[in-house]
Amino acid sequence: MPEGLLSRIGRLVSGSANALVESLENAAPEMVLGESIREIDAAIKDVKEQLGKAEAAKYLASKSLNTENVKHNTLADQINDALAANRDDLAEAAIAKQMDIEAMIPVIEKAVIDADTDIKELASFVSALEAKKREMQEALNDFIQAQKHASATEAHAAPDDVNNRVDHAESVFNRIMANQGVPANQSNADEKKLAELNELSRQNRIKERLAKAKTSLSDA
């Protein structure tokens, strides 16, 4: 697979939060997300083209391998026939051809294996790109719905409605950012709880390792 395409896939699947943050500041996330989805579609198309080439290569290599194996077996029978007829010269020619085939078979087998590896790798790339596309599409849909909700309530929004809209917008923003690999903002209380949870997990791991060490010592 071309190196440029591999780098492109890595960039698309890993995502870039910087472009999204900038677009949000400029009030144009819909355009950026839409463009990202179109770029992913183009990458999927390119990868599928490479996948088709890899499948064709595997088919041709497999067909060639089968043909050479058949030739090798046929020559074995012909060698026996030549020897039975006391034609050592014919047997030698057949053996020489067999040796040529034996030299080619490992190369053809490697071509089959390499093509199969490429097929599996490219198929996984298609799956990853399609998963990323679904994430981006969901983020875009969330943003569009948030925009519709804001437009519908802006004209007659009471103070409580304004607060609710702000909370909803923040939720949508956090979801979009999460889809791009950026963790959503958390309150101090949430951070303290997570820190406490991490410490509890750490203490449990310490106790588990201590118990394992004691067991190992007693078994020794």
| In the chain, where the domains are located | 3-185, 188-220
Tokens of 177: 């950012």
Per-residue tens of pLDDT for the chain, all 220 residues: 565 766 767 766 666 544 554 555 555 667 777 788 888 899 899 999 999 999 999 999 999 999 999 999 999 999 999 999 999 999 999 999 999 999 999 999 999 999 999 999 999 989 988 888 888 888 778 777 877 777 766 555 555 554 555 455 455 545 555 554 444 444 456 656 766 776 787 778 777 766 776 677 667 5
Q: Which CATH architecture has domain 3-185?
A: Orthogonal Bundle (1.10)
Question: For the whole prediction, is pTM greater than 0.75?
Answer: no
CA 133, CA 34: separation in Å to the nearest integer? 10
| N-terminal to C-terminal alpha carbon distance within the chain | 53
123-152: b (≥16 Cβ within 10 Å) or e: eebbebbeebbebbbebbebbeebeeeeee
Are the C-beta atoms of 103 and 42 separated by less than 8 Å?
Answer: no
Contacts of 119 (CB under 8 A, 6+ apart): 51, 54, 55, 58
